[in-house]
């Protein structure tokens, strides 16, 4: 059985107890690199130090225990064997209060402890579980279920959801989840197919009670029960002969987080909020180790839905800040999610009590023959051929945020490129409606905001915006950003041509969004102090794939909370504390946090350490083919060397 988010969380929850008794493999290892995730021992010690300092009392909960990175200059100067200063960043919830702390693990002290005015940390696993129990015990909810002919509540599964921007008077300051439920009797791998539509409880997590029950009237529970395991798909096709990716040997090494492959080197860790964090990316250019990027990671994931009813309009998730792309990373299956001979890595996170929690098989790393030429030329006149086969290296994780599965890949190749890919699969969020086909009388109303993707189920239209933080260091931290526009110019009379286009560079001088359309620009991170053999500044171009920006009104509350999605690319002067595109605390956040604040002081960004914030965005008009499980939709962007090398860096590629 494919696990829903809640059963998989339950498994994690149970496994945390095991982790405490018998920490696994790398979970107990000492940190050997400044960018290593906190080890199991370090997580345990962090909590001990806070307890000894009497900051933390019994019953405290830990929404966040994560690595507080060393200063960039210190990390860049660090060599293997050098001492490492280890610090943890911590959020502590005690009753209704929220604290932020920094624990110095090297000194064994609390370096910082402060109470926050904001009380909304990211969601805890226990809160998500408890919300269902709170709802099921509520008399009003029970009556509403009986009104729908449902008396056996054991067959009901609920899906507690982040509430987004809370505008209901009297609810301010409460810690909330919105809880719709599903008839799950007989459901195997799609609990979302049978929504009990029009009924939703708003739960106060601190006071453990239903604050408000929204009952918009009875909608029949859809009868579609899309079980899609292979045994249940009755007319499945003849099995194919296996086609697999296998490597004769492994050309990469991975020790703790340190990855080396061919001429690439990078550090990889799993973070509770960001998911994969890839740091210190360098390329060995003929014996000279050159910086490409200091750090790349997802910064926020914003998913607004387009239905105005009270049980849907709040849906405007910020999955990284509300839940955590690392926390919800699911185990990867060999032979399906990654090739069989991939390296599967266990990440280490923590549970709500601050105990270490191994995240088994949540990262995979593998080499892949793409089947494409890295480059080729057949010389027609001499009938001479030269070419090389392409092999790339993939670092992958997959987060399951309720119904959706998001695969995030960092792909390195011999062209000197890094390709960042987002694959969306899993299950559409569907609304129960009365229309069974588009010929039914209610169909017009039922599909105003979505597509009838199965009888009685409307897949509500929505967007996905995955904001990435790109701390580029092209040949070192001092970089500039050049927006190369390509205006079409008219040629004078007498020329056989009437027009052509030219590349016109503009160096961005201050922080802000990069305006204009990506397909009419060439976006370049450049080092104005370094040149290649021809004297051109060494650069990496950010090549967008298909990407959509949000078209919601800036004053729409969800949009105002996730303003980063209104532009494809933003630039800021690097500040280590500016890490999250929609702000530090995006659960129940207020408008204006994150990038709008980061750029408000209009810092200069020329020939300095700058950060790019690029959003992979796509609009999702749902379709029948999404059901009962979506074929993976990939969107990506590429970081491509441009005059970084002196010539094609893959000329000398050889495969034994
Ligand atoms: Cu979608």
How confident is the model at residue 171, as a pLDDT?
87
Cα–Cα distance list, 175 to 23, 95, 351, 546, 583 (Å): 33, 11, 19, 37, 18
Residues with CB under 5 A from ligand 1 (ion): 620
- Beta-carbon-side half-sphere exposure of residue 334 (alpha carbons within 13 Å): 9
Higher pLDDT, 138 or 16: 138
Residues in the chain: 656
Give the C-alpha separation, 294 to 279, whole Å: 5
**402 DSSP assignment:** T
Q: What average pLDDT does the segment 571-595 reach?
A: 96
464 Cα: distance to centroid of ligand 1 (angstroms): 6
Q: Does position 19 have pLDDT exceeding 60, yes or no?
A: no
566 Cα: distance to centroid of ligand 1 (angstroms): 18
Q: Does position 249 have pLDDT exceeding 90, yes or no?
A: no
Q: Does position 437 have pLDDT exceeding 80, yes or no?
A: yes
Provide the 3-class DSSP secondary structure of residue 395.
strand
The residue behind tokens 């593998």 is 366
Q: What residues contact residue 579 under an 8 Å CB cut-off, 6+ apart?
A: 299, 469
597 Cα: distance to centroid of ligand 1 (angstroms): 28
Q: What average pLDDT does the segment 262-271 reach?
A: 98
Q: Over the Cα atoms of the chain, what is R_g? A: 26
Among the residue ranges 177-191, 264-278, 380-394, 598-612, the one predicted with the least confidence is 177-191
- Tens of pLDDT, residues 290-306: 999 999 999 999 999 99
303 Cα: distance to centroid of ligand 1 (angstroms): 8
- Tens of pLDDT, residues 599-655: 999 999 999 999 999 999 999 999 999 999 999 999 999 999 999 999 999 999 998
462 Cα: distance to centroid of ligand 1 (angstroms): 6
620 Cα: distance to centroid of ligand 1 (angstroms): 5
8 Cα: distance to centroid of ligand 1 (angstroms): 21
Tell me the pLDDT band of 234, cut-offs 50, 70 and 90. Answer: low
Give the C-alpha separation, 461 to 551, whole Å: 13
Among the residue ranges 102-116, 165-179, 189-203, 357-371, the one predicted with the least confidence is 165-179
Q: Does position 3 have pLDDT exceeding 60, yes or no?
A: no
Q: Does position 2 have pLDDT exceeding 60, yes or no?
A: no
How confident is the model at residue 518, as a pLDDT?
65
Give the C-alpha separation, 84 to 515, whole Å: 41
Active-site residue numbers? 319, 404
The two tokens of residue 449 are: 């905001």
Q: How large is the greatest C-alpha to C-alpha distance in the chain, in angstroms?
A: 86
How confident is the model at residue 235, as a pLDDT?
72
191 Cα: distance to centroid of ligand 1 (angstroms): 17
Instruction: Give me the phi and psi of 352, to 5 degrees please.
Output: -65, -25
**518 DSSP assignment:** G
426 Cα: distance to centroid of ligand 1 (angstroms): 9
112 Cα: distance to centroid of ligand 1 (angstroms): 40
CB-based burial of residue 478 (10 Å sphere; 0-12 exposed, 13-18 middle, 19+ buried)? middle
545 Cα: distance to centroid of ligand 1 (angstroms): 17
- Tens of pLDDT, residues 307-358: 999 999 999 999 999 999 999 999 999 999 999 999 999 999 999 999 999 9
- Tens of pLDDT, residues 21-57: 333 334 446 899 999 999 999 999 999 999 999 999 9
| Averaged pLDDT score across all residues of the chain | 92
Helices (H) and strands (E) in the chain, counts: 9, 33
Its pTM stands at: 0.94
Q: Which residues of 76-99 are buried (b: 16+ CB within 10 A; e: fewer)?
A: eebeeeeebebbbbbbbbeeeebb
Tell me the pLDDT band of 492, cut-offs 50, 70 and 90. Answer: very high
Q: Does position 444 have pLDDT exceeding 50, yes or no?
A: yes
595 Cα: distance to centroid of ligand 1 (angstroms): 24
Q: Does position 155 have pLDDT exceeding 80, yes or no?
A: yes
428 Cα: distance to centroid of ligand 1 (angstroms): 6
């Amino acid at each position: 059985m494919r696990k829903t988010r809640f059963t998989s969380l339950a498994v994690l929850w149970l496994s945390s107890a095991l982790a405490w008794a018998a920490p696994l493999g790398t979970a107990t290892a000492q940190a050997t690199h400044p960018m290593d995730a906190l080890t199991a021992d370090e997580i345990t010690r962090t909590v001990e130090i806070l307890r000894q300092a009497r900051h933390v009392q019994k019953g405290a909960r830990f929404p966040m225990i994560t690595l507080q990175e060393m200063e960039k200059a210190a990390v860049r100067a660090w060599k293997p064997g050098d001492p490492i200063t280890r610090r943890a960043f911590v959020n502590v919830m005690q009753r209704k209060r929220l604290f932020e702390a920094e624990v110095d693990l090297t000194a064994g002290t609390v370096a910082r402890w402060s109470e926050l005015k904001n009380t909304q940390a990211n969601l805890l696993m226990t809160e998500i579980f408890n919300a269902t129990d709170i709802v099921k015990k509520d008399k009003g909810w029970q009556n509403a279920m009986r009104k729908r002919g449902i008396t056996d509540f054991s067959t009901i599964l609920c899906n507690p959801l982040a509430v987004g921007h809370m505008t209901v008077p009297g609810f301010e300051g409460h810690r909330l989840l919105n809880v719709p439920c599903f008839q799950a009797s007989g459901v195997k791998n799609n609990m979302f197919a049978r929504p009990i539509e029009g009924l939703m409880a708003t739960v106060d997590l601190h006071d453990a009670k239903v604050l408000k029950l929204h009952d918009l009237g009875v909608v029949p529970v859809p009868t579609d029960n899309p079980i899609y395991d292979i045994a249940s798909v009755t007319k499945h096709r003849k099995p194919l002969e296996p086609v697999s990716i296998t490597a004769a040997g492994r050309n990469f090494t991975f020790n703790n987080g340190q990855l080396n492959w061919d001429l690439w080197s990078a550090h990889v860790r799993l973070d509770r909020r960001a998911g994969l964090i890839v740091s210190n990316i360098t390329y060995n250019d003929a014996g000279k180790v050159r910086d490409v990027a200091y750090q790349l990671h997802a910064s926020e994931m914003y998913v607004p839905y387009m239905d105005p009813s009270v049980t849907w309009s709040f849906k405007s998730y910020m999955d990284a800040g509300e839940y955590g792309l690392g926390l919800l990373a699911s185990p990867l299956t060999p032979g399906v999610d990654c090739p069989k001979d991939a390296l599967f890595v266990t990440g280490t996170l923590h549970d709500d009590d601050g105990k270490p929690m191994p995240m088994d098989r949540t990262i995979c790393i593998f080499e892949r023959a793409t089947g494409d030429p890295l480059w080729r030329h057949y010389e027609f006149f001499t009938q001479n051929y030269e070419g090389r086969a392409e092999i790339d290296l993939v670092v992958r994780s997959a987060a399951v945020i309720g119904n959706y599965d998001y695969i995030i890949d960092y792909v390195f190749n011999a062209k000197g490129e890094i390709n960042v890919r987002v694959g969306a699969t899993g299950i559409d969020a569907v609304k129960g409606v009365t229309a069974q086909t588009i010929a039914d009388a209610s169909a017009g109303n039922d599909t105003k905001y979505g597509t009838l993707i199965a009888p009685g189920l409307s897949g509500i239209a929505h967007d996905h915006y995955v904001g990435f933080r790109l701390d580029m260091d092209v040949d070192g931290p001092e970089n500039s950003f050049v927006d190369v526009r390509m205006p079409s110019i008219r040629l004078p009379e007498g020329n056989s041509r009437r027009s052509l286009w030219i590349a016109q560079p503009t160096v961005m001088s201050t922080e802000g969004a990069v305006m204009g359309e990506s397909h009419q620009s060439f976006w370049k991170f450049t080092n104005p102090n370094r040149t290649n053999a021809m004297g051109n500044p060494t650069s990496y171009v950010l090549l967008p794939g298909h990407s959509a920006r949000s078209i919601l009104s800036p004053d729409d509350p969800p949009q105002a909370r996730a303003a980063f999605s209104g532009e494809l690319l933003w630039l800021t002067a690097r500040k280590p504390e500016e890490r999250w595109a929609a702000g530090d605390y995006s659960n129940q956040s207020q408008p204006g946090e994150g990038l709008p604040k980061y750029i408000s002081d209009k810092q200069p960004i020329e020939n300095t350490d700058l950060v790019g914030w690029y959003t992979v965005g796509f609009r999702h008009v749902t379709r029948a083919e999404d059901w009962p499980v979506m074929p993976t939709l990939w969107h990506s962007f590429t970081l491509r060397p441009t005059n970084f090398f002196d010539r094609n860096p893959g000329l000398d590629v050889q495969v034994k």
